[in-house]
Structure 1
């Protein structure tokens, strides 16, 4: 007799990302369609939809169809969901970014999810680095590397996140000079880079000013309407690494500004 097939549990954050990706692809979906595709009960899907609606990810129409709402300038994704969105793209970008590091470089890693993937890739290279970060998650990843010196910038932990902002981190960043900075953005709009909050934008601005070279790591979904706070002009970065889903018009516009753009191919992971 064959052993029973073990059912793989899908965590709530994973289910919710699957819902968002399904709605993004099709523009709308019914509860039953989502339940069938994700292999979850309609009641579970309803709970997930209630959560996503309350948090601002989705809107419901009178007919029960689910739509992605217009972008809100101050909208912030939950970290557990954001880390899983466009994950294959972020991994590909991270691998390309990690290859830019040289032994004994000093590097700033900001707290974005795409930069986190660059850190994961860099830990496999076994080269000595001096690392500065405002992310508790990234600091833990870096601490596992015996040849890395890891420095936390300091500050106050933002509620619901693993990042530090404000003082004394801002003063500390003004006092250092590093070789390279890896930074993400909430949105890239023309030549403007933005974030959803003033505190994070302020920190990114100082990170860029502290580095001799800055590389922007953004997946192709980030080419959209601006978020709340500008942290720099695209001329302040030395290279943009993105994935092959970037719309052709955005790629052409960046290259017309003489910005170095590296486009990496993405191989979808198995479901």
Structure 2
């Protein structure tokens, strides 16, 4: 699949330095203390990315993902200083640029891996920038905000939380895989039954195909709002408003148009369960 190569995505991978060894030194630390530290650190990262109109994803907590075309290398270094001053750990950061979100995150991963292992005690607050896209950053973001149709009535209020979580996570896993393997997109679970995907500029047919494939594999119906913008925040805000219009109108796909209007699409038969 080809994309507009005039657009470039900048992503970051924030990885805690020697975090595994820290959790068991001088002896294994309480799990609740570790979870509390992870939550606070992620909240700081989300605030940092939000301040720069970017998006943050907790990923695996000791590894966090940022999407922000307007976050400079120097600003990431200042965030490293913030971590060092507030927490008993430090972080290294890989920054990657490419024409697709998946490519940008892959580049950021390569960058941080080139500076040493996550278990390496000698690695400390490294920053590595890998650019694979055009020399000049042309910021444009496409955000797709997915959620499951009627999850409360079909699952939350009817099944045990274990069964509900299992069904949601199974569908999220399929959705993430389809977006990554077929559309070079990066998707992240953000709580409840919501998934946010950073995508290339995909057409309506692509989003319909994504919804259809996930439904065929899991019998779960998603609805999605899609927005584009110069920043992840602008695109994401438009996607959230588009998703609300899906809920209001009973549609499965709503896209923000450049003239400020929203285009609705009633879904294919397989999504009307």
Question: Normalising by structure 2, what TM-score?
Answer: 0.27
Structure having greater relative contact order (Cα 8 Å, sep ≥ 6): 2
Question: Normalising by structure 1, what TM-score?
Answer: 0.27
